[in-house]
């Protein structure tokens, strides 16, 4: 598999699909190193003298900021290139853009692109010793987001094999959900449930062993973890959903619905939240919510990935 | 008062209003530390391993640059988030934006927002140990600008109690003027004069002890310090002013008018200047002008504030 | 000459015109210091505690990125100000913008402006000890691009006096070509040939000792170095060229045409390339192409210039 080298070491992080449990565990353990005893993120010299280039072909201030902070906490030089408004405007190809930045001595690319497979393509262009992290490509994958979810679950619930995890929302179009489902299965989660209107569930997905629910009240029963997805308003326009109000009525996470889950259930959301649509504020800000911890752990996880991909190079 | 802790120590810098003379003096003295014997700004490690996040909900390259330079001279990691074009476009609330950035381990927020009170609101959201600097909110306050003016005056005039200070221009809408008038009074300035057309003077302002003048020739008599304000062109459209030419004729700082002030008068302006409108070039570039010194001292003052707010945390 | 001080030391880099061979050689030799034995760019402390300000009055992500990377590899603080969208929008003059940034303790300005002479103007405004690098002004000069071309040629061909160098394309409007021709002559190149349609050749240029060709097949005969220029599409609209297809038919660098040059010819291009217009992909990616090496060496050359201009200040 192209993101691993001959010795089974990670060269790039393009997707979590196909990564072994031991590989995922290694990354999760490394992330622990970047959180100190006061629960603060450490500042280290691991990437001193290295250059991290954020190449965003699609605007995403939030994701870019998380990688920028992670790289700076590792003492890397960080360059952000917003290609949407830059070189491609002069007609340069994606490949030429990457090869030029590589020639400027980039050690690590963090890429976001609206096309599925763009990160794989970029990884094929770079020379040995240069690493690529997929920060989201089309509807395909967003592996660090899925990885930080794994990390959050493991940090709070300790292990995976007893867990019932419900994922709620637009699974069909979610970059996060796809990577996530594969990885949760790899980690040995007892049961994965997908809760969504039929129009937002991928066809044949049940063949992978997950369970699908169209009624939220059924899917949340005794869940240990609830992962809410962001609802993209474009889905309304495409006719896949009747209205935000209707969506909230059927799939919004309210206190009442939360009470159907286990007493120590945790609630996750990749952000940004649409309060009052997919989740009520009283839940988002309540004691079961670990949404801001996800953000915090997300920096540690990205630091771990960056160190893993550049160590010894 | 919410920007002080129980021990009377500054937690945030939201406004100069209510700050004691000793608190202001402490900041001014600290700023001295950041200018070396060759009048150059120092480079220190005071904020090493700390993360400063510039959150600008309103574009201001100039102000953002001053804080970015100040933070970098203190060896902080600096992240700039232009929220106007970012998260809020996806409908995220101001509170969620701040809580997310805080979860990424921001130590200090520098905020600019078009709404009065936004910085106070942000300061209420952050947890203990995280500091907020107001870099301008609505017409309300812009405390580091007022503070650098105090610093400039003190550096050149040594003390405040003998000074007659004239502030000229759109006092009604100026973020700077409000903070400034309060702070100058706290420092014990002998006389504060406001010079403006009646339409640009706040009603009842004379009750605070300042003197108002609509004729510039009267207000400038024997002034030690003249603080010119920027004229925002929107005021014409609102009908508060007849024309730029007319404004210059009545309130532009010319050499002739400057000669009415004391011989060692200093001329200040927060920038950017509209040469030929509120100030003539021969004055702006003349021997009485300390306008570029203000910019220089402004970095030292911002460094002092950043260190004061993060020290020991 | 204004970019040199009394001791013949470079104060600014505004143009290569007028620089002596020994001055150019010094910069080329210094650039060698920034490439290690593994052909990697070094990371040094040469500009630690210094502030480099990129002031771009014209958008150019590629050029700005190269200077940003170079400055960060020297451990400088780097501030990028996109003035197109910033201060000048509030009507501030170019001079005021520069004087303000200087007051914030900028040590080195990297400037790009659409007006010829802007960099010279800026260099006249700054005080002693503050340096200016011209990163492109109008059609006038782009000296670091020309310098990196010299460096690339010297690194691969060792010396200049035996070389026949062909420059192909829109010489009339090229920032690069003008600086380049002067510098190549200074370095003692045997023969410089310009290849372009008559409409894109500067009048009287042959009086400087270069040879002009309108037929590519003639101009490329036995060339040691081919420097392709980017074709700006605006030229079509101005009626100076019939069509891209026609341009490629007459002046595109194809494998066939490349075979007319020496066997060890090298092919250069300042980027970004329009593959299929001025150069075929098989040539751009072929064994004679040193286009990506130019980018790599460009960082070392910019590091050398930055160190030369700030050393001992």
Mean pLDDT for C83-93 is: 58
CATH class label, C21-141+297-310: alpha beta
- Supply the pLDDT for residue B67: 97
C207-235 confidence digits (pLDDT tens) = 889 999 999 999 999 999 999 998 877 76
C228-243 confidence digits (pLDDT tens) = 998 877 766 777 777 8
With an 8 Å Cβ cutoff, are B61 and C103 in contact?
A: no
What's the complex ipTM? 0.93
Query: Does C291 score more than 90 pLDDT?
Result: yes
A128 in contact with C, Cβ within 8 Å: no
Q: Which of B49, B91, B104 sits opposite A299 (nearest CB)?
A: B104
Top residue of A72, A77, A97, A99 to mutate, by most chain C CBs within 10 Å, is A77
Q: Which of C274, C275, C295 sits opposite A100 (nearest CB)?
A: C295
pLDDT band at B89 (very low <50, low <70, confident <90, very high): very low
A73 in contact with B, Cβ within 8 Å: yes
A275 in contact with B, Cβ within 8 Å: yes
Residue of B nearest to A59 (CA): B86
C275 in contact with A, Cβ within 8 Å: yes
C79 in contact with B, Cβ within 8 Å: yes
Query: Does B245 score more than 80 pLDDT?
Result: yes
CA–CA separation, B273 vs B281, rounded Å? 9
- pTM value is 0.94
Q: Which of C61, C72, C292 sits opposite A77 (nearest CB)?
A: C72
Q: Which of C91, C92, C105 sits opposite B299 (nearest CB)?
A: C105
Query: Shortest Cα distance from B72 to chain A (angstroms)?
Result: 13
Q: Which of C43, C66, C295 sits opposite A49 (nearest CB)?
A: C43
Query: Shortest Cα distance from A11 to chain C (angstroms)?
Result: 20
CATH class label, A21-142+297-310: alpha beta
Which residue of the set B9, B42, B43, B62 is catalytic? B62
CATH class label, A143-294: alpha beta
Active site residue A38: no
pLDDT band at A84 (very low <50, low <70, confident <90, very high): low
Mean pLDDT for B41-55 is: 97
A274 in contact with B, Cβ within 8 Å: yes
* Bridge partners of residue C212, in order along the sequence: C194
Where in the sequence numbering do the catalytic residues of C fall?
62-63, 90, 112, 142
Query: Shortest Cα distance from C143 to chain B (angstroms)?
Result: 27
pLDDT band at A232 (very low <50, low <70, confident <90, very high): confident
With an 8 Å Cβ cutoff, are B96 and A273 in contact?
A: yes
Q: Where are the domains of chain B?
A: 21-141+295-310, 143-294
Mean pLDDT for B260-270 is: 97
CA–CA separation, B86 vs B53, rounded Å? 14
Q: Specify whether domain B21-141+295-310 bears CATH 3.30.450.40.
A: no
- Supply the pLDDT for residue B84: 66
B293 in contact with C, Cβ within 8 Å: yes
Which residue of the set B112, B113, B173, B248 is catalytic? B112
- From the list A56, A292, A231, the residue with the least C-alpha distance to B98 is A292
A286 DSSP 8-state letter = S
Give me A117's structure tokens: 């497979």
C100 in contact with B, Cβ within 8 Å: yes
C49 in contact with B, Cβ within 8 Å: yes
Q: Which of A82, A96, A103 sits opposite C296 (nearest CB)?
A: A103
Query: Does B235 score more than 90 pLDDT?
Result: no
- Supply the pLDDT for residue B87: 45
Neighbours of B114 (CB within 10 A): 12
With an 8 Å Cβ cutoff, are B81 and A59 in contact?
A: no
State the number of CA atoms in the 13 A half-sphere of C189 facing the CB. 25
A127 in contact with C, Cβ within 8 Å: no
Query: Does B219 score more than 90 pLDDT?
Result: yes
Which runs of consecutive H residues, i.e. helices, occur in A167-208? Answer: 175-186
Q: Are A200 and A172 in contact (CB under 8 A)?
A: yes
CA–CA separation, C302 vs C34, rounded Å? 10
Give me C244's structure tokens: 């891209």
Q: Do domains C21-141+297-310 and C143-294 have the same CATH topology?
A: yes
- From the list C78, C14, B60, the residue with the least C-alpha distance to A51 is C78
State residue A222 phi and psi, 5-degree precision: 60, 25
Top residue of B48, B71, B76, B77 to mutate, by most chain A CBs within 10 Å, is B77
Residues of A whose CB is below 8 A from C62? 86-87, 100
DSSP states along A293-306: HHHHHHHHHHHHHH
With an 8 Å Cβ cutoff, are A100 and C271 in contact?
A: yes
Which residue of the set A90, A127, A158, A263 is catalytic? A90
**Residues in contact with C34: Cβ distance below 8 Å, sequence separation at least 6, in sequence order:** C41, C42, C44, C73, C299, C300, C303, C304
Q: Answer with the residue of higher pLDDT: B223 or B93.
A: B223
C73 in contact with A, Cβ within 8 Å: yes
Neighbours of A217 (CB within 10 A): 12
Query: Shortest Cα distance from C106 to chain B (angstroms)?
Result: 9
A62 in contact with B, Cβ within 8 Å: yes
pLDDT band at B102 (very low <50, low <70, confident <90, very high): very high
Could you tell me which chains touch chain B, where touching means 3 or more CB pairs under 8 A? A, C
With an 8 Å Cβ cutoff, are A91 and C274 in contact?
A: yes
Give me B240's structure tokens: 């508060």
pLDDT band at A306 (very low <50, low <70, confident <90, very high): very high
Query: Shortest Cα distance from A292 to chain B (angstroms)?
Result: 6
pLDDT band at A177 (very low <50, low <70, confident <90, very high): confident
Residues of B whose CB is below 8 A from A65? 79, 81, 101, 104
Query: Does B251 score more than 90 pLDDT?
Result: yes
CA–CA separation, C247 vs B5, rounded Å? 72
Which residue of the set A73, A142, A230, A288 is catalytic? A142
Could you tell me which chains touch chain A, where touching means 3 or more CB pairs under 8 A? B, C
State residue B229 phi and psi, 5-degree precision: -105, 155
A48 in contact with B, Cβ within 8 Å: no
Neighbours of C141 (CB within 10 A): 27
Q: Where are the extended beta strands (E) located within A71-129?
A: 77-82, 108-113
pLDDT band at A85 (very low <50, low <70, confident <90, very high): low
The H helix count followed by the E strand count for chain C is 12, 9
Q: Are B112 and B102 in contact (CB under 8 A)?
A: no
- Supply the pLDDT for residue B77: 97
Mean pLDDT for A250-259 is: 97
In chain C, the percentage of residues whose pLDDT exceeds 90 is: 71
CA–CA separation, B141 vs B126, rounded Å? 20
Stated as kind and residue range, the H or E segment containing B281 is helix B281-284
- From the list C100, C75, C68, the residue with the least C-alpha distance to C86 is C100
B164-183 confidence digits (pLDDT tens) = 999 999 998 887 887 899 89
CA–CA separation, B125 vs B102, rounded Å? 10
Mean pLDDT for B260-283 is: 95
- Supply the pLDDT for residue C87: 45
Q: Answer with the residue of higher pLDDT: A8 or A70.
A: A70
- From the list B149, B130, B125, the residue with the least C-alpha distance to B16 is B149
Query: Does A44 score more than 60 pLDDT?
Result: yes
Give me A114's structure tokens: 């609206």
Top residue of A44, A77, A79, A295 to mutate, by most chain B CBs within 10 Å, is A295
pLDDT band at B91 (very low <50, low <70, confident <90, very high): low
Neighbours of B113 (CB within 10 A): 23
């Amino acid at each position: 598999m192209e993101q691993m080298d001959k010795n089974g070491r990670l060269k790039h992080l393009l997707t979590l699909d196909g990564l072994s449990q031991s590989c995922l565990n290694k990354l999760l353990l490394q992330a622990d190193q970047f959180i100190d005893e006061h629960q603060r993120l450490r500042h280290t010299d691991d990437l001193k003298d290295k250059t991290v280039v954020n190449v965003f072909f699609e605007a995403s201030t939030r994701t870019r900021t998380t990688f920028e902070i992670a790289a700076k906490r590792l003492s890397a030089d960080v360059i952000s290139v917003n290609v949407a408004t830059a070189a491609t405007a002069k007609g340069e190809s994606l490949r030429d853009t990457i090869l030029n930045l590589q020639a400027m001595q980039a050690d690590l690319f963090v890429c976001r692109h609206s096309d599925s497979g763009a990160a794989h393509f970029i990884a094929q262009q770079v020379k040995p010793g240069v690493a690529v992290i997929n920060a989201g490509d089309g509807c395909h994958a967003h592996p660090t987001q899925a990885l930080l979810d794994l990390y959050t679950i493991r940090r709070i619930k300790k292990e995976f094999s007893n867990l019932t995890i419900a994922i709620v929302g637009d699974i069909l179009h979610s970059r996060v959900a796809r990577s996530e489902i594969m990885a949760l299965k790899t980690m040995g989660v007892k049961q994965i449930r997908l809760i969504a209107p039929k129009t937002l569930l991928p066809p044949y997905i049940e063949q992978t062993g997950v369970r699908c629910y169209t009624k939220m009240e059924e899917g949340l029963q005794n869940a240990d973890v609830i992962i809410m997805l962001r609802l993209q308003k474009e889905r309304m326009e495409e006719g896949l959903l009747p209205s935000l109000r209707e969506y909230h009525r059927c799939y919004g996470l309210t206190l009442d619905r939360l009470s159907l889950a286990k007493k120590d259930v945790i609630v996750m959301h990749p952000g940004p939240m649409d309060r009052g649509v997919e989740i009520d504020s009283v839940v988002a800000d309540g004691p079961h919510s670990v949404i801001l911890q996800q953000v915090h752990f997300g920096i540690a996880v990205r630091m771990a990935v960056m160190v893993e991909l550049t160590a010894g190079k």
